[in-house]
């Protein structure tokens, strides 16, 4: 190890008064630490809190699903990629939870919102919480979710709330990489072997109807997302499934599948085991 | 020494202390090299404030950077040291200094090319091999390199391989 590396690892072991030691898993401070928290005039605090919360829930739940691929992905590089994408989304979730908590003004921080709400209080879209399925399922899901979120965040880049606008602008750069990744896989699998194409067709057939909820939550994204999907499916030599409406809950209203409860039970178990713990 | 000069000297000292802090994940770079140190202020009351911007939204190194900068300012004699976060304008790899790029290459990490320029509105999806910019191998200098994964050991890096010397290497990817 070089002396530079030594410096870093030694510094992790030192005690500091400003105790933000990420390597120890404790002392995570407010991700909006030192950012002006004022909500601009004309932004309705309650509605804004709910809006940021929904965007955060989509990101947190999707990040958790991506993390579930760790140790299971088909190759090491893919595992690293999915973990990175999840980490970006988790970062977005943290900032958005912190912002939602500020706008709400009830003293809830990111941890309170992520760990101490029950499934019915989550506002993520259903697509985010669906189980990973096989790799083709996960890539179709990732393509749908990232195309939609990218369109949504691009539209928020000039939001009157400077904090949300900044999170959105940064998120656009990150999601561009995520969507690229999903699109490349969709093409590789769709235009791949007979077996990979079959799995893609199955995944598409199952997940295609969930677009309806995405467009209901953010109608302005429809044209852009549909154009992207047409482009990717064309390159992947896959046909868009017929539009078959399925009956599903509305995640934005807190109506979820049983899969969310399962996901949250795992995600929240440590924090809830000892809410007062510092470690 | 006049009060103004004294303040100027303290500001220089605060800036030097914060600028010399190393990035926890790319320790060959200082925060100044990386371009995440936006501003350093010194107030009449003797306190110092450094303004940092995150590289990636979820970069876990930001809290570490904050703690290191605060500690560096205290070591430089500022009992009251604050670190603020600035989200906008977002950090881009274009903010990495020429010195930073040189140090990256020296450490075997290919520096980023120019970050993609984005107009407002929808982000176009480009399929197929699009990376027009040539990435040189940091080991042998060959331009004949390929991307093996767009995501590397940290959020900011991609994995590549040199077709000439066959060595794998990391690249700080454009954002």
* ipTM rounded to 2 decimals: 0.85
Q: Answer for the pair B167, B158: CB distance below 8 angstroms, yes or no.
A: no
CA distances from B172 to A232, B25, B112 (A): 27, 12, 5
- Asked if A177 has any chain B CB less than 8 Å from its own CB, the reply is yes
What is the rounded CA–CA span in Å between residue A118 and residue A252? 14
**Minimal CA separation from A247 to chain B, in Å:** 31
Predicted confidence band of residue B49 (pLDDT cuts 50, 70, 90): very high
Q: Is the pLDDT of residue B76 over 80?
A: yes
If you average pLDDT over residues B58-87, what whole number do you get? 90
Considering the four listed CATH numbers 3.40.980.10, 3.40.30.10, 3.40.50.300, 3.30.300.130, the one that applies to the domain covering B3-85 is 3.30.300.130
Q: Answer for the pair A260, A129: CB distance below 8 angstroms, yes or no.
A: yes
Nearest CA in chain B to A12: B64
Predicted confidence band of residue B131 (pLDDT cuts 50, 70, 90): low
Q: Answer for the pair B73, B42: CB distance below 8 angstroms, yes or no.
A: no
DSSP class per residue in A43-83: --HHHHHHHHHHHHHHHHHHHHHHHTTTTTSSSHHHHHHHH
Mutate to test the interface with A, among B20, B64, B70, B151 (most CBs of A within 10 A): B151
Mutate to test the interface with B, among A7, A17, A21, A22 (most CBs of B within 10 A): A22
Q: What per-residue confidence (pLDDT) applies to B45?
A: 87
pTM score of the predicted model: 0.89
DSSP class per residue in B98-163: HHHHHHHHHTTEEPP-PPPP--SSPPPP--SS---S----TTT--S-EEEEES--SSTTEEEEEET
Query: Domain-by-domain residue ranges, chain B?
Result: 3-85, 98-113+132-172
Enumerate the β-bridge partners of residue B162.
Answer: B145
Enumerate the β-bridge partners of residue B161.
Answer: B146, B168
Q: What per-residue confidence (pLDDT) applies to B142?
A: 95
What is the rounded CA–CA span in Å between residue B27 and residue B34? 10
Note the pLDDT tens digit of each residue in A29-73: 677 877 888 899 999 999 999 999 999 999 999 999 999 999 999
CB contact under 8 A, B57 and A33: no
Would you call the peptide bond into B89 cis, given omega within 30 degrees of 0 as the criterion?
Answer: yes
Q: What per-residue confidence (pLDDT) applies to B59?
A: 78
Q: Is the pLDDT of residue B145 over 80?
A: yes
3-state secondary structure at position A175 = helix
SS3 assignment for A195-240: HHHHHHHHHHHHHHHHHHHHHHHCHHHHHHHHHHHHHHHHHCCCCC
Predicted confidence band of residue B132 (pLDDT cuts 50, 70, 90): low
CATH topology of domain A39-241+252-271: Ferritin (1.20.1260)
Residues of chain A where predicted confidence (pLDDT) is lower than 70: 1-29, 278-279
Query: Domain-by-domain residue ranges, chain A?
Result: 39-241+252-271
Q: What per-residue confidence (pLDDT) applies to A132?
A: 97
If you average pLDDT over residues B72-84, what whole number do you get? 94
Geometric angle at alpha carbon A22, from B88 and A85, rounded to 5°: 60
Longest dimension (CA), chain B: 64
**Minimal CA separation from A55 to chain B, in Å:** 14
Backbone angles phi, psi at B30, to 5 degrees: -85, 165
Q: What per-residue confidence (pLDDT) applies to A23?
A: 39
What is the rounded CA–CA span in Å between residue A207 and residue A133? 11
What is the rounded CA–CA span in Å between residue A114 and residue A116? 6
């Amino acid at each position: 190890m070089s002396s530079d590396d030594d410096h870093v690892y030694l510094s992790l072991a030192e005690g500091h008064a400003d105790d933000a030691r990420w390597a120890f898993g404790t002392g995570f401070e407010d991700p909006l630490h030192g950012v002006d928290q004022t909500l601009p005039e004309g932004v309705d605090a309650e509605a804004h809190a709910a809006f940021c919360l929904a965007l955060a829930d989509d990101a947190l739940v999707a990040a958790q699903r991506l993390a579930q691929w760790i140790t299971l992905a088909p190759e090491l590089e893919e595992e690293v990629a999915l973990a990175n994408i999840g980490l970006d989304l988790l970062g977005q979730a943290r900032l958005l939870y912190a912002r939602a908590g500020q706008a709400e003004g009830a003293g809830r921080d990111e941890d309170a919102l992520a760990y101490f709400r029950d499934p019915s209080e989550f506002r993520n879209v259903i697509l985010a919480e669906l189980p990973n399925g096989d790799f083709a399922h996960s890539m179709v899901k990732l393509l749908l979710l990232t195309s939609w979120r990218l369109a949504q965040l691009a539209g928020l880049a000039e939001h009157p709330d400077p904090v949300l606008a900044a999170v959105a602008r940064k998120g656009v750069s990150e999601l561009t990489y995520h969507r690229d990744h999903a699109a490349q896989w969709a093409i590789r699998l769709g235009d791949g072997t007979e077996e990979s194409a079959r799995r893609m067709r199955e995944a598409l057939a199952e997940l295609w109807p969930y677009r309806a909820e995405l467009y209901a939550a953010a109608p302005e994204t429809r044209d852009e997302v549909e154009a992207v999907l047409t482009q990717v499916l064309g390159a992947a030599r896959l046909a868009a499934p017929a539009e078959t409406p399925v009956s599903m809950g509305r995640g934005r209203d807190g109506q979820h599948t049983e899969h969310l409860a399962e996901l949250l039970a795992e995600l929240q178990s440590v924090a809830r085991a000892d809410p007062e713990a510092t470690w | 020494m006049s009060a103004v000069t004294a303040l100027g000297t303290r500001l220089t000292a605060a800036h030097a202390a914060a600028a010399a802090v190393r990035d926890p994940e790319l320790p060959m770079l200082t925060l100044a090299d990386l371009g995440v140190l936006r501003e350093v202020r010194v107030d009449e009351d003797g306190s110092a404030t450094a303004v940092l911007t995150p590289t990636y939204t979820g970069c876990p190194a930001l809290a570490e950077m904050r703690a290191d900068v605060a500690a560096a300012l205290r070591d430089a004699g500022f009992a009251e040291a604050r670190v603020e976060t600035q989200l906008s304008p977002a950090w881009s790899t274009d903010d990495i200094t020429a010195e930073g790029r040189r140090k990256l290459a020296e450490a075997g990490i290919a520096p980023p090319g120019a970050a993609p320029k984005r107009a407002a509105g929808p982000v176009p999806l480009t399929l197929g091999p699009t990376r027009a910019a040539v990435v040189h191998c940091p080991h042998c200098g060959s331009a004949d390199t390929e991307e093996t994964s767009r995501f590397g050991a940290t959020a900011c890096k991609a994995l590549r391989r040199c077709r000439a010397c066959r060595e794998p290497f990391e690249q700080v990817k454009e954002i």
